[in-house]
Amino acid sequence: MALDIVFMGTPNFAVPILKTIYNSEHRIKCVYTQPPKKKNRGLKKDLSSIHKISNQLKIQVRIPEVLDINELNFIKKVKPHIVVVVAYGKIIPNAFFNINTTNFINVHASLLPRWRGAAPIHRAIMNLDKETGVTIMKMVPKLDSGPILMSSKIKINQNTSFIELSNQMSELSAELLLKSIDLLERNKASFIPQNESDATYAKKIQKSEAKINWDEDANKIVAKINALSSGPGAWFYLNGSRIKIIKAIEIKASGKPGEIVNSNFTIGCKKNSVKILELQKEGKKTLTTKEFLTGNKVVVGNILKD
């Protein structure tokens, strides 16, 4: 039996999941997403990734600033069997969870109860976790603490970037969600409570965190670069200009923290060094290190300063 579904999501991560549902036997009654953001000094509005794909698929889109009584009544009128929530970006009021005929199911980008909260992919990479995964859970009023229906693991290595991991997790989430919907459809769903004592929280990334501290081990700095490469970007100052590192690797070279240890733009850290592979000067396009060094001089032995 095909189920009626309301989808709530906003970023690129949610797009493959929405498309998978759309291409299944189930019916997407409407999509909720964040309102458009002003762009280019307010002359244009930038639609969310989910808004754009919903327009292409000709799915009704709702963009309320808040989920108020009007939206609650709308959901009640639509009577979806399931509301699927994927990185929507808004708090859903408790009253919505009291709709008896509707299951609210959340796709979360971590192995709950680890990394509840806003930035689970970033935090897993920055923390040097060896694995993460995706979790399908029933939504409850407390953030990311509902009982778990399904989960699946993904390995993380020292070169895993945010975009790479996010794409893997999105595809896996789509597959896992269809299996979860099937269980719900056949009344075979079994929800397992989370262990609260194991809970950790993935706080939103603050801009202040993006600045590189060369007095850390190289593996920690590379992990930060990998986690923040798609935004806001891990950065440092060079000759008064802010430089974002897009891609780098750890190498076994010695030098003082912040010291330019060779002409290939390798920088010393507390332990080992970071070899920069791709970088971006403020306001400029991304370049390889070789391209950057043709127009920017670095002096071996200099110490990078704030």
Write the pLDDT tens digit of every residue in 68-82.
999 999 999 999 999
Let me know whether 172 and 66 are in one domain: yes
Q: Is residue 38 predicted with pLDDT exceeding 90?
A: no
Phi, psi of 196 (to 5 degrees): -60, -30
Let me know whether 139 and 35 are in one domain: yes
Let me know whether 9 and 117 are in one domain: yes
Q: Encoding tokens for residue 64?
A: 């309320």
DSSP per residue over 90-118, as a string?
Answer: SPPPHHHHT-TT-EEEEEESSSTTTTEES
Q: Is residue 15 predicted with pLDDT exceeding 80?
A: yes
SS3 (DSSP) at 228: helix
Let me know whether 108 and 232 are in one domain: no
Domain boundary among 175, 202, 229: 202
Per-residue pLDDT, 44 = 74
Domain range for 84 is 4-202
Can you give the C-alpha Rg of the chain in angstroms? Answer: 22
Rounded Cα gap, residues 268 and 282, in angstroms: 22
Q: Is residue 41 predicted with pLDDT exceeding 90?
A: no
Domain boundary among 202, 226, 245: 202
Let me know whether 151 and 28 are in one domain: yes
Q: Encoding tokens for residue 27?
A: 């019916």
Q: What is the pLDDT of residues 253-275, one digit of tens each?
A: 999 999 999 999 999 999 999 99
DSSP per residue over 284-300, as a string?
Answer: S-EEEHHHHHHHS---T
* Domain contains 303: no
User: Mean pLDDT over residues 233-260, rounded?
Assistant: 96
Q: What is the CATH number of the domain that holds 291?
A: 3.10.25.10
For 110, half-sphere exposure in the C-beta direction (CA atoms, 13 angstrom radius) is: 23
Residue 290's pLDDT band (cuts 50, 70, 90): very high
Domain boundary among 182, 202, 222: 202
C-alpha angle 68-148-121 in degrees, rounded to nearest 5: 80
Let me know whether 213 and 158 are in one domain: no
**CA nearest neighbour of 170 among 6, 15, 10, 50:** 15
Let me know whether 164 and 220 are in one domain: no
Let me know whether 182 and 249 are in one domain: no
Q: What is the pLDDT of residues 199-213, one digit of tens each?
A: 999 999 998 999 999
Let me know whether 198 and 212 are in one domain: no
Number of domains in the chain: 2
What global pTM score does this model have? 0.94
Let me know whether 28 and 88 are in one domain: yes
Let me know whether 140 and 174 are in one domain: yes
Using N-to-C axis directions, what is the helix angle for 15-22 and 162-185, rounded to 10°? 30
Let me know whether 127 and 211 are in one domain: no
